[in-house]
């Protein structure tokens, strides 16, 4: 038996940041992502988002790589949204994403941050939020590649 903790705060947006994740659909989308996580034996701790992006806090199972988790979440939700017609002309997800490793001691603040997305985005745009998160994590970026 392996004993691991691999906490990640994952952020990704719709293609071209199209604002199509309407509030009335988000809960259903989040439940679907929770199911994907459960099937991969990953523990989804918190999920929330806005019209054009999603935040996920997850503890990855030891047999699941970060890239495969994100790929599976994006591919599965995209297929599901399109096949069920939940979002007319769903554009898919941006190829890029951010995934920030977190310590146990970071979890409460990240949970609070994700939980309060709607309030947070009354004060800051998605683009500025994403840049701040990258800067705070000391991740170098080029504006032309930001999602």
The reply to whether 2 falls in a domain is no
- The answer to whether the predicted template modeling score (pTM) of the entire model surpasses 0.75 is yes
The reply to whether 31 falls in a domain is yes
Q: Along the 147 residues of the chain, how does pLDDT read in single tens digits?
A: 678 899 999 999 999 999 999 999 999 999 999 999 999 999 999 999 999 999 999 999 999 999 999 999 999 999 999 999 889 889 999 998 999 999 999 999 999 999 998 887 888 887 888 888 888 888 887 776 665
52's CB contacts (< 8 A; 6+ apart) are 13, 14, 17, 18, 19, 20, 21, 126
How many domains does one find in the chain? Answer: 1
The reply to whether 1 falls in a domain is no
Element (H, E) at 35: helix 23-39
The reply to whether 87 falls in a domain is yes
The reply to whether 46 falls in a domain is yes
List the CATH number of the domain containing 12.
3.30.70.1290
């Amino acid at each position: 038996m392996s004993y691991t903790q691999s906490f990640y705060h994952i952020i990704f947006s719709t293609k071209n940041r199209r604002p199509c994740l309407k509030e009335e659909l988000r809960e259903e989308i989040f439940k679907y992502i929770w199911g994907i996580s459960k099937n991969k034996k990953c523990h989804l701790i918190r999920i929330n988002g806005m019209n054009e992006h999603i935040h996920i806090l997850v503890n990855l199972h030891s047999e699941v790589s970060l890239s495969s988790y994100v790929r599976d979440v994006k591919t599965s939700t995209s297929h599901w949204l399109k096949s069920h017609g939940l979002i007319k002309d769903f554009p898919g997800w941006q190829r890029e994403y951010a995934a920030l490793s977190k310590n146990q001691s970071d979890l409460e603040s990240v949970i609070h941050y994700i939980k309060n997305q709607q309030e947070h985005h009354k004060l800051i745009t998605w683009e500025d939020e994403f840049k701040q998160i990258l800067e705070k994590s000391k991740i170098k970026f080029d504006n032309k590649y930001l999602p």
